[in-house]
Amino acid sequence: MKRRDFLKNTAVVTAATVLASCDVKTEFKATVFEKNGTLPMVISTWNHGIAANQAAMDVIQSGGKAIDAVEAGVRVPESDPEMRSVGYGGLPDREGQVTLDACIMDETGNCGAVSYLQHIKNPISVARKVMDETPHVMLSGQGALDFALEQGFKKENLLTKEAEKRWKEWLKESKYQPIVNIENHDTIGMLAIDVKGDIAGACTTSGLAWKMNGRVGDSPIIGAGMFVDNEVGGACATGMGELVMKTLGSFLIVELMRQGRNPQDACEEAVKRIVAKQEYKDMQVGYLAIDKEGNYGAYAIHPGFNFALHAAGENKMHDAASFASK
């Protein structure tokens, strides 16, 4: 049953020194913001965003909607066996299982997500099916896999030889320690505005390498890994999901923009919420945000976070400012 029918029928570094005592205050200086909006536009996290952005912009320039663009865009790194943090080729948990999380959201507020999904190369497309074909927002684990197979997705072994090799190397010591900006990529979060001015977002990941079996991060959580409000803008996150979930960073950023903050200021405030209360020295979080006019912001806890921006006919990498570099 289609979602709309169901609803109608049923409802009609070394960081800057942190607080050593209550008397010490964390200084925070905002980045000067200048309007930078150009439409249509696509923005996404990390180096793998260049190819993803191009696929998304191809959809938009051919007359497609933002929701179709973000799905097509993030499928690119999902399908790449060389990616170690997204989809096929992602590094496994400590049991050697590749488990995937993803969410997607359109201009009307409809959304779908999957968590702890195994054996399906493109979790973002399963999340899209959850959004379009069910009355639910999220399916998880075996239920998500069963649904994917019912929808015609192919069951595959996602543990590549290279990922398996690295997992077996890790098993020799079985030491788990998050590393800031490891391999300069992580979750891919993407936001797009199409020619009609509609906004959509997507977020997909294989999660932390060597995580505990069953761990789910922020990526499939609407409001944490990604959030869109077509009246205001959108935001997405990358990095240590636990820190993002504790502050619902993407929802926070959009709400700050609703209250009048620009995208850059909103991203910086979301990072400030983390560093004021959480232990962040060895953990990275990066945020991207866009407003309705296509103005964008980017900010991270530590230096090293970069993002891809496709606007005004150019698709380029940019470095984000960070709290620890101030």
- The proportion of the chain whose per-residue pLDDT surpasses 70, expressed as a percent, equals 87
The encoded tokens of residue 87 equal: 């989809």
The values of phi and psi at residue 64, to 5°, are -80, 165
**Dihedral (CA of 132, 135, 141, 147) sign:** negative
> How far is it, in rounded angstroms, from Cα 167 to Cα 57?
35
What pLDDT score was predicted for residue 37? 75
What are the DSSP calls for 17-75, one per residue? PP-SSTT------PPP------SSEEEEESTTHHHHHHHHHHHHHTT--HHHHHHHHHH
204 token code pair? 């997909």
- Separation between Cα atoms, residue 266 and residue 89, nearest integer Å: 33
Catalytic site residue 38?
A: no
* Dihedrals phi, psi of 158, to nearest 5 degrees: -90, -5
286: CB partners within 8 A, 6+ apart = 45, 237, 238, 239, 298, 299, 300, 301, 305, 307, 320
Residue 48 phi/psi, 5° resolution? -70, -5
Tens of pLDDT, residues 224-251? 999 999 999 999 999 999 999 999 999 9
In the set 45, 99, 160, 187, the catalytic residue is 187
The Cα 236–Cα 246 span in angstroms is: 15
Say what the pLDDT of residue 2 is: 53
Q: What pLDDT, on a 0 to 100 scale, did the predictor assign at position 23?
A: 35
Do 321 and 31 meet the contact criterion of CB atoms below 8 Å apart? yes
The whole-number mean pLDDT for each consecutive block of 10 residues of the chain, a chain of 326 residues, reads: 48 35 42 74 96 98 98 97 90 95 98 98 98 98 98 97 95 76 70 98 95 95 98 97 96 98 98 94 94 97 96 96 89
Mean pLDDT of the chain: 89
Q: What is the pLDDT of residue 17?
A: 32
Per-residue pLDDT, 7: 45
pTM of this structure: 0.88
| 3-11+42-311 CATH | 3.60.20.30
C-alpha 212: how far from its chain's center? 20
